[in-house]
């Protein structure tokens, strides 16, 4: 995996991933994401680069799948780890079984809100949001009403212009 050799303590940007990726960011995510058998869905995973790096770093301890539309080319995730939805507005039904939903640079706060509202009564215990700091207020309104705890992680390998938020303890 060529991307691994380019990673360091500071975030690095890759052509096929919106977020800056660093070793500390990967370590933070692996520490915080639920271990197997907990299902983790990364909604809108794009090329699957971040997800494949997480699977590699976790050494098989994560049950992580990417969710993406058919036209998006999966370059990094094993095909059996890729779930498809018909269009960018579609919700994947396996989210009902997911203990964690991950959104990295999602385009629409409304989609995040629909996932949370639709699947909150399922297995969902945690939501991870990683994106540009200036986008957070829109997404905060979609996430905050549904969780008791929001933790902002703005160091630990997160790029200066980005924000990592971990929402937990769902309001049911």
* DSSP code for 96: G
35-168 has which fold? Rossmann fold (3.40.50)
The residues, ordered by sequence, that sit 6+ positions from 160 with a Cβ below 8 Å of its Cβ are none
Residue 69 has pLDDT above 70, yes or no: yes
pLDDT, tens only, 4-55: 889 999 999 999 999 999 999 999 999 999 999 999 999 999 999 999 999 9
N- to C-terminal Cα distance for the chain? 41
Q: Is the pTM of this model over 0.75?
A: yes
The residues, ordered by sequence, that sit 6+ positions from 109 with a Cβ below 8 Å of its Cβ are 138, 139, 141, 142
How does residue 2 score in pLDDT terms, banded at 50, 70 and 90?
confident
Report the 10 Å Cβ neighbour count for 172.
7
What does pLDDT average to over the chain?
96
What is the pLDDT, as a whole number, of residue 3? 87
Q: Where are the domains of the chain?
A: 35-168
Location of structure tokens 């977020």? 19
């Amino acid at each position: 995996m060529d991307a691994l050799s380019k990673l360091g303590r500071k975030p690095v940007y890759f052509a096929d991933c919106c977020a800056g990726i660093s070793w500390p960011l990967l370590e933070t995510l692996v520490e915080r994401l639920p271990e197997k058998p907990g299902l983790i869905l990364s909604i809108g995973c794009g090329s699957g680069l971040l997800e494949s790096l997480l699977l590699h770093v976790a050494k098989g301890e994560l049950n992580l799948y990417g969710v993406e539309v058919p036209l998006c080319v999966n370059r990094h995730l094993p095909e059996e780890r890729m779930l498809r939805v018909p269009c960018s507005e579609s919700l994947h039904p396996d989210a009902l079984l997911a203990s964690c939903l991950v959104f990295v640079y999602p385009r629409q706060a409304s989609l995040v809100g629909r996932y949370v509202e639709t699947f909150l009564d399922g297995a969902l215990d945690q939501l991870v949001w990683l994106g540009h700091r200036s986008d957070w207020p829109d997404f905060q309104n979609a996430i905050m009403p549904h969780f008791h705890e929001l933790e902002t992680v703005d160091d630990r390998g997160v790029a200066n212009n980005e924000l990592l938020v971990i929402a937990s303890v769902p309001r049911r």
